[in-house]
Amino acid sequence: MATWGLAVVGVVTAIVAILTEHTAALSAADQVWSPFVLVTGLLLVGLVADQDGLFAAAGHRLASVAPNGLVLFAGASVGIAAVTAVLNLDTSVVFLTPVLVYAARSRGQDGSALLVACLLLSNAGSLLLPGSNLTNLIVLGHLHLSGGRFFGHMVLPWVASVLVTGGVIAMIEHRSLPVTAATPEPAQPMTVGLGALAVVAVTVLVLVLQAPALPVAGVGLVVVAIRLVARREELDRIRQVLGIPVLVGLFGVAVALGTLGRSWSGPATLLAHLDAVGVAVVAAASSVVVNNLPASALLASRVPPHPFALLVGLNIGPNLFVTGSLAWILWWRTVRTSGATPPIRKAVVLGLVTVPLSMAAALAMLAVTGSL
């Protein structure tokens, strides 16, 4: 019921925005629609890949090559950071969460540290490229930076954020990571077919295209349609994975807040009177209050000062609480779909510890590169 309530709020606020500030609302919608379409396509592809056993096989493979739990955690952390940077944090959460569930199960160990790392590192590791986080695309719409120039500004903050976040989680959770090797259970069969091809296709599209949202959504729709025709997928399962009420609600709120930021100078005036650290803190707090996608639409409705510091707050700040980003919602639902229990309390506690440290490290690196 709560998800449908969010959908109603999003639809109502978007309608109000369109009726009161038509031009501003259309501009806001144009700024934020593509991230939501992209996420929809990725979720559909992930559904088909999971049905083919792709995630289960990858999880067993990861477990089989790691000699102990600490190495498994380190390898998983590197993989999370890499997938997040190259593809997208929502892709990382949806694709890698099942991998880590299967990896932990095959080793017979508690996988909560791996699951928390997947969430927190996906958020914290989304600073490297424009496509790493959908908020990057919203904020940078004003700046017209190439991927290479963005990389130059953010590579050191990204490294600092990933190392601090992963290091803190490892130090706090080291006792839950067994240091002795365990023999994984026999690998489950994997069908190398439609799911794997779809993953490769969307990976190429995200890397090559400047605007991959519609092509990625097209791939997702095609592969799910094929499965529906073959009766190997059910509509109820598709609706569950997509979480349409959540996506609709967040989109509506983002449009409404983007409209507000275009018609009211308050957010822009506030940011103009803050230094870079203040901008990052406001962005982090706004993410917790309204979610980072609507927050980015509001705070970047006009050309923002200290845009890279703004992104530090929008990308890392959501680790503070479950309301911070769409990745939290996708992570929670994917963990449950994989048959595990989401360690929400542990994720929040570790987020409260890691966010101030990783934001400070990232901002310090921005200062080093002269991008603060």
CA distance 32 to 250: 10
Predicted confidence at residue 295, as pLDDT, reads 92
Q: Which residue matches tokens 């939501």?
A: 36
pLDDT band at 35 (very low <50, low <70, confident <90, very high): confident
Predicted confidence at residue 177, as pLDDT, reads 74
pLDDT band at 188 (very low <50, low <70, confident <90, very high): low
**Does pLDDT of 317 surpass 70?**
yes
pLDDT band at 192 (very low <50, low <70, confident <90, very high): low
pLDDT band at 237 (very low <50, low <70, confident <90, very high): confident
Show Cβ contacts of residue 88 under 8 Å, excluding neighbours closer than 6 positions.
Answer: 38, 42, 126, 131, 132, 133, 134, 206
Predicted confidence at residue 324, as pLDDT, reads 92
* Percentage of the chain exceeding pLDDT 70: 94
pLDDT tens digits, 72-116: 888 889 989 988 887 788 888 988 888 888 887 776 677 889 999
Are 25 and 35 in contact by the 8 Å Cβ rule? The answer is: no
Which is more confidently placed, 151 or 353? 353
Mean pLDDT of 158-169: 96
pLDDT band at 190 (very low <50, low <70, confident <90, very high): low
Mean pLDDT of the chain: 86
**Does pLDDT of 152 surpass 90?**
no
pLDDT band at 286 (very low <50, low <70, confident <90, very high): very high
pLDDT band at 9 (very low <50, low <70, confident <90, very high): confident
Least confident stretch, 64-73, 75-84, 323-332: 64-73
pLDDT band at 67 (very low <50, low <70, confident <90, very high): confident
> CB-side exposure of 228: number of CA atoms within 13 Å?
13
CA distance 135 to 312: 10
Predicted confidence at residue 202, as pLDDT, reads 85
pTM for this model (two decimals): 0.83
Exposure string of 49-65, with b = 16+ CB inside 10 Å and e = fewer, is bbbbbbbbbbbbbbbee
